[in-house]
Amino acid sequence: MNSCQRIALILGVVMVFTLAEQAPFVLAQDNGHTLRGLQGFPVVVARLGAEIEKDGLTEEQLQTDTELKLRMAGIKVFSLEEATREKGSPYFYLHVHVDKLKSGCYSYNISTELIKEAFPLWETTWTQLELMGLSCYLSEIRQHAQGMVDEFINEYLAANQKQTTKTGPRVTLIPLLTLYSVNSL
């Protein structure tokens, strides 16, 4: 077992015990009702350390990845200025904390939150917490962060489903085109 695997095993054991203690918090996630009716929001990405950016994972990458995923899902991405016009001035916060280990691998934790203004303070109205992980590749951490964005998108879309009409699902018939080869005629 190499040092990276040994560290991963230790972190895994610690994570199991930490999850057991944190379970009420993790299970207290919003069920989507605070996501309902949001027209859009800006994306804010927490600062990464200079060493991590030098190694190849940048805030700009995470910002672009997240905004692109949201837009592709049909969710409007506002500027910070535009968000002030939305009730509660909500914003999506992606926090990716990465530490480089002596082995050259990285320990990380990722969280995603939707934060709204609750005058005079700000409150987290939806959260998803990934306590920790270990990877020797920053690209895996980037993918994991985007996987958590995907989970947020699923929650948002479920909370904002359009009501179906009472006539049932719409069916579109597509005529089939049959091609005959010269030999079959």
Domain of 82: which CATH number? 3.40.50
Neighbour tally for 22: CB within 10 Å = 13
Q: Is residue 173 part of a domain?
A: no
What's residue 5's pLDDT? 59
Helices marked H in the chain: 3-27, 50-55, 59-72, 80-83, 138-159
What's residue 180's pLDDT? 41
User: In this prediction, what percent of the chain has a pLDDT beyond 70?
Assistant: 65
Q: Is residue 115 part of a domain?
A: yes
**pTM of this structure:** 0.69
Q: Is residue 152 part of a domain?
A: yes
Q: Is residue 125 part of a domain?
A: yes
- 53: containing domain: 3-163
User: Total structural domains in the chain?
Assistant: 1
Q: Is residue 123 part of a domain?
A: yes
How, if at all, do strands 121-135 and 106-118 pair? Answer: antiparallel
CA distance 44 to 58: 13
Q: How confident is the model at residue 184 (pLDDT cuts 50, 70, 90)?
A: very low
- Between 151 and 8, whose confidence is greater? 151
Q: Is residue 178 part of a domain?
A: no
Q: Is residue 182 part of a domain?
A: no
Q: Is residue 170 part of a domain?
A: no
What's residue 123's pLDDT? 66
